[in-house]
Amino acid sequence: MRENELEALVAYRLRRAEETLEEARVMRQMGHWNTCVNRLYYTAFYAVSALLVKDGHRATKHSGVKALFNQHYVKPGIVSKEKGWLYNRLFDLRREGDYIDFVSLDSDIVEPLVSETEEFIETIRSLLS
């Protein structure tokens, strides 16, 4: 991939992360907690995907993105373990909320994740700079 294409892809994915975070905020206001977690996860996913692409890492599955993020950024301490935990938590909650019957997330679980995801995006943005 050429340099200008790479930069465009990174910018696109970061923009998607920001748009999806706004969607999560709307879902929070409406009290749609499962959908809010879905959007928070995708916020983090798009941001992490941008970081991986920038640094030349490729994954074809969500689990691969998670593994590469933990391997290349969390384990060596580039991203804090708390931020790594947040990404992993969002990954798990999104799967539960989307695919497991009768799972109904609530504000006590999801509300704190909104501000944590906002901080997460800022961390990724600083790594992309």
Walk me through the domains of the chain, giving residue ranges and CATH numbers.
3-128 (1.20.120.330)
Q: How confident is the model at residue 32 (pLDDT cuts 50, 70, 90)?
A: very high
- Over residues 99-113, the pLDDT tens digits come to 999 999 999 999 999
* Cα distances (angstroms) measured from residue 102 to each of 2, 29, 36, 111, 128: 46, 22, 16, 20, 39
Give the sign of the dihedral formed by CA 128, CA 123, CA 13, CA 75. Answer: positive
- Over residues 53-96, the pLDDT tens digits come to 999 999 989 999 999 999 999 999 999 999 999 999 999 999 99
What is the rounded CA–CA span in Å between residue 128 and residue 57?
14
Over residues 7-28, the mean pLDDT reads 97
Instruction: Please indicate, yes or no, whether the overall pTM of this predicted structure exceeds 0.85.
Output: yes
Do 120 and 87 meet the contact criterion of CB atoms below 8 Å apart? yes
Over residues 24-49, the mean pLDDT reads 98
Residues constituting the chain: 129
What is the rounded CA–CA span in Å between residue 11 and residue 92?
26
